[in-house]
Amino acid sequence: MNVDSIPRIWFMLSGVVYVSGIIFCLFLAPQGFTLGFVTGGGLVLVNAWASARKLKKSEFLHRGRALASVLGGFYLRLVVLAICLFGVIKFLHVDPVGLVTGLSVIPAGLLAMLVLIYIANRRPEEA
């Protein structure tokens, strides 16, 4: 397995979870919950994409500078995410449960990836 492709697969699976969640929310949930899910999932996917991009661009030749850059970028994104969440809750009046459910898109994508890895690594006699 190519280890470099794992973040791309994880991001794609998270996107699939996000899109399927939007479809389910459109048909089964109220509008406020759907808006919260869409907003939370979009924010967390953009944050994950920015994190992966930052790590890919980091040059680890100078360990101290690279670590400071990655951690600084993490905390900056965390502050921006907190400000965005505050603005969404304060001004858009979304359902907080839908927002938290949307924020769970990345961990759900990770869980889906782990399940697929487990299924793919089973021996034929186990199936």
- The 10s digit of each residue's pLDDT in 57-95 is 777 777 788 888 888 889 999 999 999 999 999 998 899
Q: Which residues contact 12 (CB under 8 A, 6 or more apart)?
A: none
For 32, the enclosing helix (H) or strand (E) is helix 31-57
Calpha distance 14→75 (Å, rounded): 22
Domain that holds residue 8: 3-126
Tell me: pLDDT of 6 over 80: no
